[in-house]
Amino acid sequence: MMRHLISAADLTRDDAVLILDTAEEMARVADRPIKKLPALRGRTVCNLFFEDSTRTRISFEAAEKRLSADVINFAAKGSSVSKGESLKDTAQTLEAMGVDAVVIRHSASGAPYRLANSGWIDAPVINAGDGTHQHPTQALLDAFTMRRRLIGPDAGIGQGLDGRRVTIVGDILHSRVARSNVDLLHTLGAEVTLVAPPTLLPVGVDSWPCEVSYDLDATLPKTDAVMMLRVQRERMNAAFFPTEREYTRRYGLDAERLAKAPGHAIVMHPGPMVRGMEITAEVADSERCTVVEQVANGVHTRMAVLYLLLGGNEPAVSHSRTEENK
Amino acid sequence: MDTNSTDARPVLEGPDIERVLTRIAHEIVERAKGAEDVVLLGIPTRGVFLARRLAEKLAEVTGRTIPVGSLDITMYRDDLRMHPPRALARTEIPAAGIDGRLVVLVDDVLFSGRTIRAALDALNDIGRPRAVQLAVLVDRGHRELPIRADYVGKNLPTSLRETVKVQLAEEDGRDAVLLGAKPDAKAAEH
């Protein structure tokens, strides 16, 4: 049985559908006057954030609190980590405090895997983003948003995303969101096309379970959901494209370009958006853009993951991890 | 829920179940003096089907549409930590809500009473009913909590070595209440 959620590639189709179905029920709690469930009462969850991320942290925190867990927030900045404490020492401190689960965000790819498999700590580990590697709960909330919008909240129960076509556009190289989405969407039966300048595609992308294109205009007409990625300037240590204007001209999404996609196609963005660069304000504010929904769905999906990993005496999600998925 | 048993014997069959539900519907109308503010909430899975059938019967008797919903109690179970987490079922509260209404919880089998305790906790998070009542198709005894039903289809004295299984056409293709022997003698958990 899977105790941790490290990578979207670890999830079987049944696991992924179970998480999405559970998230659908969690979403109903958000409509109630008392948005709380007692499932994790008496359990302590630590949000261990070695890298800043307000959005993901408060999303996890909201999910944990709605399940009645006790929450400890740990930010590396200003902590003993900045004095040189290692991940191992931090983990052992948490273990000694009796933490029941750790949600970890780290700038180093593989840090959550290390934490989960080193024996330093016994609690389940949930990856909240590690380096350029994985961000599984983001992929789950994206899949949840697609299923709700493209199939419908009730009609989608028990279903994957078979035959749906998803285009992911932009900085694939630095994007753990793209990597996680390709893994999960493939598991759920969707066809993924990556669109990016050749310089922003990782080595070995041809072995990923997806198509690759350099031409957004040609891909859009065959798309049910187009996911724009943020251009992560902070991770870029070289010139990956000539100018921002050039990037926007070829890979930016404006209303004119969006018109080439089918009428039902949705526009997604993991946030934060750089308006005017990868997406115009007009598209970002349109009804077809799901950015705000994605934020709300993030809480429902994370509640589902926390409940399924921690709610019982053993996790409900099965384990099929292979080393090459790392 | 009790497991399948090979030598199960029917104690209620299709027409009996219909009759029992008709009687419960009339009892609800009588006790609630017209069932004007009644909301029926079924406990998944089979309680929901029973609640829908009761709502139809109440509509026939009173000539009014009776709001009906479902109440999943999974998160409120006191044995949540003792098993792998269960998949959640649907909670659907009628649009008018339950505040100030008479909520009738509907379930198939009343056994230890723990499911109903969980349901009362779940209701607490959803609103404040004027009163809560309980309707069950079968009461098999062996209560572990001070809970009793207001409307009982059939009192069925059982031993802990027996299983009670309710089948409903919506889920199982036929209506029946089956009494069988437990495959192992371990006390049932419900």
Q: pLDDT digits over A225-247, tens only? A: 999 998 877 666 567 888 888 88
B75, B81, B83, B123: best mutation site toward chain A, by most A Cβ within 10 Å? Answer: B75
Q: A19-33, A209-223, A224-238, B26-40 — which is least confidently predicted? A: A224-238
What's the pLDDT score for residue A315?
A: 76
- Burial of residue A32 (CB within 10 Å: 0-12, 13-18, 19+) is middle
Asked if A37 and B75 come within 8 Å (Cβ–Cβ), the reply is: yes
Residue B138 lies in a domain: yes
CB B91 within 8 A of CB B70: yes
CA A305, CA A302: separation in Å to the nearest integer? 5
Q: Which own/partner pairs from A237-244 qualify as long-range (CB within 8 Å, at least 24 positions apart)?
A: A240/A171, A240/A173, A240/A197, A240/A199, A240/A200, A241/A197, A241/A199, A241/A200, A244/A277
> Where do we find the tokens 């008018």?
B96
Q: Residues 88-127, chain B: which have Cβ within 8 Å of A? A: 88-93, 121, 125-127
Instruction: Show the 3-state SS of chain A.
Output: CCCCECCHHHCCHHHHHHHHHHHHHHHHHCCCCCCCCCCCCCCEEEEEECCCCHHHHHHHHHHHHHCCCEEEEEECCCCHHHHCCCHHHHHHHHHHCCCCEEEEEECCCCHHHHHHHCCCCCCCEEEEEECCCECHHHHHHHHHHHHHHHCCCCCCCCCCCCCCEEEEECCCCCCHHHHHHHHHHHHCCCEEEEECCHHHCCCCHHHCCCEEECCHHHHHHHCCEEEECCCCHHHCCCCCCCCHHHHHHHHCECHHHHCCCCCCCEEECCCCCCECCCECHHHHCCCCECHHHHHHHHHHHHHHHHHHHHCCCCCCCCCCCCHHHC
- Give CA–CA dist A2/B57, Å, rounded: 47
Using the structure block, give the residue that is written with the tokens 């008496």. Answer: A42
| Contact between chains at A38 and B84 (C-beta distance less than 8 A) | no
The verdict on residue B153 lying in a domain is yes
Cis-peptide into A290, omega within 30 deg: no
pLDDT (tens digit, 9 = 90+) per residue, B81-101?
Answer: 888 888 899 999 999 899 999
Cα–Cα distance measured from residue A261 to residue A297, given in angstroms and rounded to the nearest whole number: 24
Q: Do B84 and A39 touch (CB under 8 A)?
A: no
Smallest Cβ–Cβ distance between B88 and the set A25, A36, A315 belongs to A25
pLDDT digit string (tens) for B128-187?
999 999 999 999 999 999 999 999 999 999 999 999 999 999 999 999 999 998 876 544
Query: Would residue B122 count as lying in a domain?
Result: yes
Angle among Cα A126, A127, A128 to the nearest 5 degrees reads: 110
Contact: A34, B86; criterion CB under 8 Å:
no
Average pLDDT of span A281-287: 95
User: Closest chain A residue to B72 measured between Cα atoms?
Assistant: A25
Q: Is there a domain that residue B144 lies in?
A: yes
Which positions 122-151 of B are in contact with A (Cβ < 8 Å)? 125-127
Residues 6+ apart with CB under 8 A from B121: A38, B73, B76
At residue A246, the pLDDT reads 87
Tell me if residue B118 falls in helix, strand or coil: helix
Task: Choose among B57, B68, B129, B59: nearest CA to B94.
Answer: B68
Between A237 and A72, the more confident residue is: A72
* Stated pTM of the model: 0.90
Q: Does A56 carry a binding-site annotation?
A: yes
Domains and CATH numbers, chain A: 8-134+294-316 (3.40.50.1370), 136-291 (3.40.50.1370)
Element (H, E) at B105: strand B102-110
CA B84 to chain centre: 24
**pLDDT digits 0-9 by tens, B50-63:** 999 999 999 999 99
Chain B residue with Cα closest to A307: B85
On whether residue B163 sits in a domain, the answer given is yes
Phi, psi for A226 (deg, rounded to 5):
-115, 120
Which domain range does residue B65 map to?
8-79+87-181
- The mean of the pLDDT values for chain A is 90
Q: Which residues of A touch B92 (CB under 8 A)?
A: 28
In the three-class reduction of DSSP (H, G, I as helix; E, B as strand; rest coil), residue B57 is classed as: helix
3-state secondary structure of B122: helix
Active-site choice (A32, A54, A83, A243): A83
- CATH code for position B175: 3.40.50.2020
| Mutate: best of B71, B74, B82, B88, partner A, most A CBs <10 A | B88
The reply to whether B95 falls in a domain is yes
Peptide bond into A272 cis (omega under 30): yes
CB-based contact B50:B106 (threshold 8 Å): yes
Residues of A in contact with B78 (CB under 8 A): none
Inter-chain touch B87–A34, beta carbons under 8 Å: no
Q: How many domains does chain B have?
A: 1
| Residue in B76, B85, B91 closest to A312 by CB | B85
Type of residue at B58 = L
Between A18 and B34, where is the model more confident? A18
**Cα–Cα separations (whole angstroms), residue A302 to A31, A135, A278:** 17, 12, 27
Give the mean model confidence (pLDDT) for residues A119-123: 91
Six-digit token pair at A302?
């994370």
Chain center to CA of A99: 24
Q: Please give the structure tokens belonging to residue A297.
A: 């769905």
Q: Which residues contact A300 (CB under 8 A, 6 or more apart)?
A: A23, A24, A26, A27, A30, A63, A141, A144
Alpha-carbon gap, residue A292 to A192, rounded angstroms: 23
Does the pLDDT of residue A94 top 50, yes or no? yes
Q: Measured between beta carbons, which residues in chain B are less than 8 angstroms from residue A307?
A: 75, 85, 88
The reply to whether B2 falls in a domain is no
Give the nearest chain B residue to A2 (CA atoms). B84
B79 in contact with chain A, both atoms CB, cutoff 8 A: no
A114 is catalytic: no
Contacts of A39 in chain B (CB under 8 A): 75, 80, 85
The pLDDT of residue A237: 59
Active site residue A250: no
A38–B75 C-beta distance less than 8 A = yes
Tens of pLDDT, residue by residue over B3-44, are 454 578 899 998 999 999 999 999 999 998 888 899 999 999
Q: Does B86 touch chain A (CB under 8 A)?
A: yes
In the prediction, which pLDDT does B2 show? 47
Specify the pLDDT at position A324: 33
Task: Please confirm, yes or no, whether A275 is among the known catalytic residues.
Answer: no
- Within-domain flag for B3: no
Asked if A135 is an active-site residue, the reply is yes
Catalytic-labelled residue, pool A105, A148, A179, A269: A105
Nearest to A21 among B81, B87, B125 (CB): B87
